[in-house]
Each structure stands twice: as C-alpha cells, then as structure tokens.
Amino acid sequence: MTKQTLAAAPPCTLFLFGANGDLVKRLLMPALYNLSRDGLLDRNLRIVGVDHNPASAEDFAARLHAFMVERDKGGEGSAKCLDEKLWARLAKRLDYQTGDFLDPATYQALARRIDKTRHGNAIFYLATSPRFFPEVAQRLGQAGLLDESAGGFRRVVVEKPFGTDLASAEALNACLLKVMGERQIYRIDHYLGKETVQNILVSRFSNGLFESFWNNHYIDHVQITAAETVGVETRGAFYDSTGALRDMVPNHLFQLLAMVAMEPPAAFGADAVRGEKAKVVGAIRPWSAKMAQKNSVRGQYRAGKQGRKPLPGYRQEPNVAPDSQTETYVALKVMIDNWRWAGVPFYLRTGKRMSVRDTEIAICFKPAPYAQFRESELERPKPNYLKIQIQPNEGMWFDLQAKRPGPELVMENVELGFAYKDFFKMTPATGYETLIYDCLTGDQTLFQRADNIENGWRAVQPFLDAWAQGGEVHEYSAGEDGPEAGNELLTRDKREWHRLG
C-alpha cells in the first residue's frame, strides 16, 4: 500500500461568512475536525465565523460543539465518538466576528485580524445565501482584502448555485472576476470531494484496459443517477424557487458527466484537467425548444410510503406553494458532439423521495454482435454494465454473463468488482475534507472554472426555455423511482434504466 505523505496546509485565516448556517455546522466544521485529526492543518490556522448575530468566540465554539456531539449519534461523516481533546485543540482556533455583510466596517474588522498575522494568508468562504455572493465579493475587493501584492494569498470559496440560468451565471462570474483573478476563485462542488468521483479519473487514465474501450465503438449509452429518499425537508422556500434541474444538473450531474466523458489531460494539473472538462461540457448539443421538451421529463412527488412509513406530498411540505409546479424529479437525454462520443446518448436523472438513496454512473456496453446460443433461453445476451457507485456503497462493479452450473445451458448475470470499505480503511468524512485542504494549499483541480460553469448553463438553458413555454409535470408517489414518463424516455430508444441499489 502506498504511504500517504501529505504535509500540513500552510498557515491561514479562514473566514466563514454565514457562520450560523447549516453548511458550517453540518459539513465545514466536521471536515475541519477531520483534517485536524489527520494532522493536515497548520497550528497557526485560525477559523473566524462571520455573521450578523451577536456572539462571542466562546458562544460560537459552544454551539458547534453541541452540534458535533449530537452529530455523533449518526449521519454522513460521523465519527460516532467525538474526541474531546482533539475538539478542544480545534476550538482554540475558533473566533467570531459580528458584522453585517453589507457594512464596510465588517471588512475593516477583518482586515485588522489579517494584519495581526505574520503570514497574511486569508480565505473567505461564502457559506451564505447566493444573493450575498456578489455583494460580499465586491466589498472584499473594495476593502483591499483580495490584494496579494504584500505576498500573502487571498482566496474566495463560492458554494453552489452558481447562478440560476446562463445570464445570471455569466453576471456572477463577471462580478467575481472584476475584483479578483480566476486563480483566486474556488467554486466548490462537494460531489468532487467524494473518493469514488476522484477515482473515475484514476480508473480511466491509469488502466489501459478501460481507455481502450472508452468510446462510441464499444459503449452504447451512459446513465447518471442521483436518487434521494429524502424530501425537501426544511429547504422548501429555496427548493420551490429552484427545482431539481437547477439544483442538481448543471453542477453535480454535469461534473460526473465531465469526469466520465473528458479527454485525457496532457498533465494531471488544475489547468489541464479543468480545460478538458470545460471542453466536453461545451460539446453538449444545444437542443431546440421542441427537442428539449422531447428529451426531458419533469416529475413531482405526491403522498406515498417508504416501507410502512407514510410520506407527505411535495405540495404538503413546509414553505411550498399548494399549487406548485416545481419539479422534484428530472430525467434528461443529452448528446455530446465530439469524435469520441458521437451517437452515444447520456441519460441523466435525479429525484427526491425515490425508493433508495443511490448516486451512480452506469456505463452500458454494446451487446455481443452474434447470438451463438440460439437454443438457450437467452437468444441475445444482455449488455454488460460498468457501475460506478458514488454513494452510499462506494465502489465499482462490472457485470457479465456466466453459465450456471449444471447440465443445462442457463446463463446468469454475475458481478465483479470492489467496495471501497472492503479494500481500504475508510475514515469518517463529509466529502469536504479534500476540497478544503486543496483550497488551503492552492490546488484548483477539483474546483469549477468560469467557462465550465457557463458551458453547463448553456446546455441546461434550452430545457429551462422549453419548460417556460409549458409542458406536463408528471406525478409519482413518494417511495417510487419517478414517473412512468421517466422510464419511457429510455424505452422509446429500446433501452431501460439500470436497476437502482
């Protein structure tokens, strides 16, 4: 086994805007705790929460500690047992700055904190409502906090959504680039922090076996699914104005598509990898309004059951309009117009209140061209799938046909593959650990670039425009795998969705 030799990240002051929000307590602080556990944080790292609610550093630390203790009862990235000594060392790094995001005095106070450090390094993490992204960025620039001329680095982390359509994404990028350089912007997508997502690149480009058949000569189609069993929970107000398409497709699902479909980069560096990803997303065919309607399905869950548990319909969720037409399920067919993928459809689907939690990529290979087994029950062999499961059971599996033991010629589907947990020691993680560490060390490989963001929205915009003209939002019961129309998107092409789970 290769020994890991990562060094601790350089010293820095990490400012968390929106410090009292869910993102900080649920994901960022647990990730920082895990990085501290692994010795990857410099002893001079300082973490400063920034929010308008008055609080002391002690108050801030106490609230986070209470959540970490509660979180240990279960949840993604949970350690099951909080190390109080480790937490005490991390808590000493915590501080708090009360301030309005729109008040210049807030930024003057942040500047004074940076001036007290020897290194001058600072990261501004915008864990806020998206409406504050341009406002905070402008004020950081006006206050001189993004100026690197004194030698320290200055970086800004922006959470999704990166706009709500092509025009707003272009406007946000223009606003950010007005006050800082692209190399200072870290547009974060937590899917890219997951081990199995990063492993797509390793599997593709370090194994000659894969790359030799990774093209339209051997691959029939690709399916990318992000299925959730949860509903909108407390996010009703946000979700009802956003929907499944905007929430998931131009970021999470297109990032997975880019990992699968990109060309081999000239080198494994940030510029080369991000350049290839931008190219392949830019090669997605822009549908006409008519074709966008034909190649998309919208769904919304109604009341149903998960096992014996009754579940409310989307319109009965808190802060959701009783006559809402917002989609909680979307299925799309997209085509990539380049040499490698010409003629290979990519089917994408995501939905809430589905039967299982499953994020996976299923690569379907073309079936054997000749039916040798005419006398058997399977005249034409089934296609083989390579399944890459992102969550919850991380791993890769390849299925193939084999003869069942016995005198009769009966074929059976078998799976070859591995689960991460069976081969590697998996420490608790949220998915943000790698991304925060990369931001601290200045590695932008797993972060989105402006052109990638805009290419994604350019591919999504035809669906938004077509839906604005009308079209049906199909119903499906909570606990089911979306509406029947989602299945028909594939059956009309003589294909079917790979079974979830």
Could you give the CA distance from residue 343 to residue 163 in angstroms, rounded to a whole number? 31
- The hierarchical CATH code for the domain 192-371+452-492 is 3.30.360.10
What average pLDDT does the structure give for the chain?
A: 91
Q: Which residues are annotated as a binding site for substrate?
A: 190, 194, 228, 247, 352
pLDDT at 446: 92
Kindly report, as residue ranges, where domains of CATH 3.30.360.10 are found in the chain: 192-371+452-492
CA 334 from centre of chain: 19
Pairing mode of beta strands 329-335, 296-302 = antiparallel
pLDDT at 181: 97
Q: Which residues are annotated as a binding site?
A: 100-101, 160, 190, 194, 228, 247, 352
Kindly report, as residue ranges, where domains of CATH 3.40.50.720 are found in the chain: 13-159
Cα–Cα–Cα angle for 163, 185, 254, rounded to 5 degrees: 50
* List of the chain residues with pLDDT < 50: 1-3
Residues noted as catalytic: 252
Exposed / middle / buried, residue 422 (Cβ in 10 Å: 0-12, 13-18, 19+): exposed
DSSP one-letter string for 254-282: HHHHHHHHPPPPSSSSHHHHHHHHHHHHH
Q: Which residues are annotated as a binding site for NADP(+)?
A: 100-101, 160
Chain segment 98-151, per-residue pLDDT in tens: 999 999 999 999 999 999 998 999 999 999 999 999 999 999 999 999 999 888
Chain segment 273-315, per-residue pLDDT in tens: 999 999 999 999 999 999 999 999 999 999 999 888 999 999 9
Please name which of 257, 204, 258, 193 lies closest in space to residue 226, comparing C-alpha atoms. 257
CATH top-level class for 13-159? alpha beta
pLDDT at 403: 76
pLDDT at 3: 43
pLDDT at 98: 97
What type of residue is 302? R
pTM, rounded to two decimals: 0.91
